[in-house]
Amino acid sequence: MTARVIYQPCSDDVARKNLQTTILNPVLLSDIADLLSLELQAELRRVYPNGKLFIWGLASPRTRNTWLAAQLGDTVIFNTKTVVTVSACFILRTHNRDLALRLWGWADEASESTWENIYFVTDVRHQTIRFKAIQAHINSRHDRSFHRYDEAQSAAILEHFPSLDHDYADNDVSLEEAQKDIENQSTDGMANRPTRLEHKYIARHLFKGKLTGRCCICLNEYPRHLLVAAHIKKRSVCSKKEKLDIKNIAVPMCRLGCDPLFEHGYLSVKDGKVIKHPSREMTAATASYVESVVGREVKEWATKSQKYFDWHLNAHGFEPGELAGVG
């Protein structure tokens, strides 16, 4: 099932203050546990093992049905004065008037209204996407209230704006579905880009639905959005058979340095260890980073992946031949 996209308007002063208070800054479970059932506390500890929660609430009764329709894994986009500045992954909901009052106070004290239809999110990401660009892409004018887009609109948004795809693990994609999607890919120039199901399967395979992961080169752990599923052999030059080998063609790399340095041939992997290019010109900063990872053992270097790492070595000239010496 395709994850849906949920539109959350957040442009007035109060909403933006609440965004700062309970989305961009987490709420400690220990500070609100006295207002929660034991069952909910247990579920929140499972979802947020560090005890830091990200919470939003709705006050209008007109949004209740949409709130009830939201599903685990949906992407919530927060529109702040015409720009989507935050996205997050919907996890669960609860109705709790006392919790809303503790977190945000009254929405309207005269009518004793507060944001009591509460939902919890995870994987909070900073974005800079013009909301009009999203509207134009799906031909929608909706810009007022909390709204859940239909499946076709959601798929179109997540396809066109990949940073909004939170890759939640429960939205399963089988290997067979991903391979079929590759087989059916058109040849009109899109064939050089991963298909949606291919990308999802690789992300599930590499990151196991976790919010953090480990870069295979530097071995450091990062938030999921600072890691990429990097093709060892550039996808645009892969054969159809190689594209279908999606269990072995990609590895996790960090955006902070390893992925671009690997892609541009400053470093590679040989016999299971990181090596640097023998002759590539490097600035002091580049050389310092590369030297810091040289010799690291890459566990993803395995029998079925070696041929792709070998392609990378050859494509970037890591093992140049001897000059003929004929004068």
Looking at the domain assignment, is residue 156 inside a domain? yes
Q: Which residue has the tokens 């690789």?
A: 202
270 and 220 together in one domain: yes
φ, ψ for residue 98, nearest 5 deg: -65, -40
32 and 127 together in one domain: yes
CB 179 within 8 A of CB 251: no
Looking at the domain assignment, is residue 325 inside a domain? no
> Which pLDDT score is estimated for 75?
96
Q: Which domain holds residue 277?
A: 178-315
> Which pLDDT score is estimated for 159?
85
67 and 92 together in one domain: yes
118 and 196 together in one domain: no
Looking at the domain assignment, is residue 169 inside a domain? no
> Which pLDDT score is estimated for 241?
87
Looking at the domain assignment, is residue 171 inside a domain? no
Complete DSSP assignment for 33-76: GGGS-HHHHHHHHHH-TTSEEEEEEE--GGGHHHHHH--TTPEE
| Both structure tokens of 323 | 């000059």
274 and 206 together in one domain: yes
What is the per-residue pLDDT across 283-322, written as a single tens digit (0 to 9) for each? 999 999 999 999 999 999 987 899 999 999 999 999 776 6
Which of 164, 197, 227 terminates a domain? The answer is 164
Which of 133, 164, 195 terminates a domain? The answer is 164
Nearest to 91 by CA among 120, 67, 66: 120
> Which pLDDT score is estimated for 172?
63
192 and 153 together in one domain: no
10 and 158 together in one domain: yes
200 and 246 together in one domain: yes
CB 193 within 8 A of CB 234: no
> Which pLDDT score is estimated for 169?
55
- The CATH number that applies at residue 70 is 3.10.590
Which of 140, 164, 188 terminates a domain? The answer is 164
Looking at the domain assignment, is residue 225 inside a domain? yes
Looking at the domain assignment, is residue 327 inside a domain? no
The confidence band for 189, taking pLDDT boundaries of 50, 70 and 90, is: very low
158 and 203 together in one domain: no
Judged on CB neighbours under 10 Å (0-12, 13-18, 19+), 136 is exposed
How many CA atoms lie less than 13 Å away from 305 in the CB half-sphere? 19
100 and 223 together in one domain: no
Judged against a pLDDT cut of 50, whether residue 188 lies above it is answered with no
Structural domain count of the chain: 2
Judged against a pLDDT cut of 80, whether residue 258 lies above it is answered with yes
121 and 214 together in one domain: no
Flag whether the pTM goes above 0.85. Answer: no
Judged against a pLDDT cut of 50, whether residue 187 lies above it is answered with no
Judged against a pLDDT cut of 80, whether residue 197 lies above it is answered with no
150 and 192 together in one domain: no
